[in-house]
């Protein structure tokens, strides 16, 4: 009974301050220090998603240059436990393989959201998305994600994974610097991809 009254009082306090559905209020309500547990008023209010959360994979491209990060090395396809990734390597007009993919498919009806592809990708090209509101009325066509559907800008990634993004950028910057130092005697440093 006390719990009942307390929860209503808390609610009134929040409502009085106009804090209902606000993320800061949700953070208080969902913390382990609260008594009991509060209902998340989905869809108006959503549970905060931790950065590491993984749902379905997606691929990255640089929004300003249009450069796709995937080099079609195939590690994600090889490490994928249920083998749901298909990659076609791009070729130039002479049939020589290029370090990029021309087609990329992920069958989301097989994907088990384990996150291995993102974990082992050496180019930070494949990452796990946070978007879970994906239900639909059809699966045969819409659940096979092709390349255009998988590509999302790096800015989106930076937004959902701020810490990882910062760490990866830092790592990249350091590598670039090391490479620039090594290449210093040469007249021009190779242009960095993205």
Partner 1 sequence: MVVEVKTPQRSEEERIEELVKRSAWVTPWDKLLEWIQSVYNWGRKSSLWPMQFGLACCAMEMIATAASRYDIARFGAEVFRGSPRQADVMIVAGTVTKKMMPPIVRLYHQMAEPKYVISMGACATGGGPFKEGYNVVSGVDEYIPVDVYVPGCPPTPQALLHGLMSLQKKIEGQSLPDLPWYRGGPSPEVPIPVLGPDIFDLRQIKEIKAGVQSARGPQAAEAAGEEKKAERKLVVEIVTPQPTIDLANRLSQVFGEGIATAEKVALLIDGDRLVDVARYLRAEPDLRFDYLHNLTSVDFPEHFEVVYHVSNLDRGGEPVEFKVRVTDKQNPEVPSLVELWPGANFQEREVWDLMGIRFRGHPNLKRILLWEGFHGHPMRKDYKEPYYEEEKKPYDMRWPEGVHVRIEDRVPWKRNVKYPQDFDPQTWRPPEETLPVVEAQELRPGMELQTDQFIVNMGPQHPSTHGVFRMKVTLDGETVVNLEPIMGYLHRNHEKIGERNAWLMNMPYTDRLDYLASMNNNFGYAIAVEKMLGLKVPERAEHIRVIMAELSRIQRHMLGIGFLLNDLGALFTPALYALEERELVLDLFEMVSGARIMCNYFRFGGVAYDMSEEALKFTQQLVYERLPRAVDELDRYLTDNEIMLARTRGVGVLPRQMAIDYSTAGPVLRGSGVRYDVRRGEPYSIYDRFEFDIPIGTQGDVYDRYLVRLQEMRQSLRILNQALQQLPTGEILAKKKLWQVRVPEGEAYGRVENPQGELGFYLVSEGGPNPYRYHVRSPGFVNLTALGEMCQGHKVADVVGILGSIDIVLGEVDR
**End-to-end CA distance of the chain, in Å?**
60
Q: Is 99 in the site for partner 1 (CB under 8 A)?
A: no
Shortest gap between Cβ of 91 and partner 1 (angstroms)?
Answer: 9
At which residue do the structure tokens 């990734």 appear? 85
d(CA 56, CA 4): 39
Smallest gap from residue 31 Cβ to partner 1 (A): 8
Q: Between residue 160 and residue 189, which ones bind partner 1 under the rule CB under 8 A? A: none
Query: Which residue's CB is nearer to partner 1, number 47 or number 183?
Result: 47
Neighbours of 111 (CB within 10 A): 19
Minimum Å gap between C-beta 88 and partner 1 is 6
Whether 79 and 112 have beta carbons less than 8 Å apart is answered as: no
CB of 13 to partner 1, least distance (A): 20
The Cα–Cα gap between 59 and 69 comes to 8
In whole angstroms, give the CA distance from residue 73 to residue 162: 26
Dihedral over Cα of 167, 173, 174, 176: its sign: positive
Q: Name residues contacting partner 1, limited to 6-45 (CB under 8 A).
A: 30-33, 36-43
We find the least distance from the C-beta atom of residue 185 to partner 1, in angstroms, to be 31
Interacting residue ranges for partner 1, rule: CB under 8 A: 30-33, 36-43, 46-47, 50, 52-56, 61, 63, 66, 68, 72, 74-75, 77-83, 85-89, 97, 103, 105, 107-116, 119-120, 128, 132-139, 143-144, 148, 151
């Amino acid at each position: 009974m006390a719990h009942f009254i307390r929860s209503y009082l808390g609610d009134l306090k929040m409502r009085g301050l106009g804090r209902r559905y606000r993320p800061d209020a949700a953070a208080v309500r969902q913390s382990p220090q609260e008594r009991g547990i509060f209902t998340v008023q989905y869809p108006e209010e959503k549970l905060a998603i931790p950065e590491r959360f993984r749902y379905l994979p997606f691929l990255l491209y640089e929004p300003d240059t249009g450069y796709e990060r995937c080099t079609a090395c195939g590690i994600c396809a090889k490490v994928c436990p249920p083998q749901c990734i298909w990659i076609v390597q791009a070729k130039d007009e002479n049939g020589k393989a290029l370090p990029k993919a021309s087609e990329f498919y992920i069958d989301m009806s097989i994907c088990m959201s384990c996150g291995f592809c993102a974990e082992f990708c050496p180019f930070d090209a494949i990452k796990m998305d946070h978007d879970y509101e994906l239900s639909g009325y059809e699966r045969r066509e819409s659940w096979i994600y092709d390349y255009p559907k998988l590509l999302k800008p790096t800015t989106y990634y930076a937004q959902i994974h701020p810490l990882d993004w910062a760490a990866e950028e830092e790592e990249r910057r350091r590598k670039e610097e090391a490479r620039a130092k090594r290449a210093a005697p040469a007249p021009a440093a190779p242009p960095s991809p993205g």
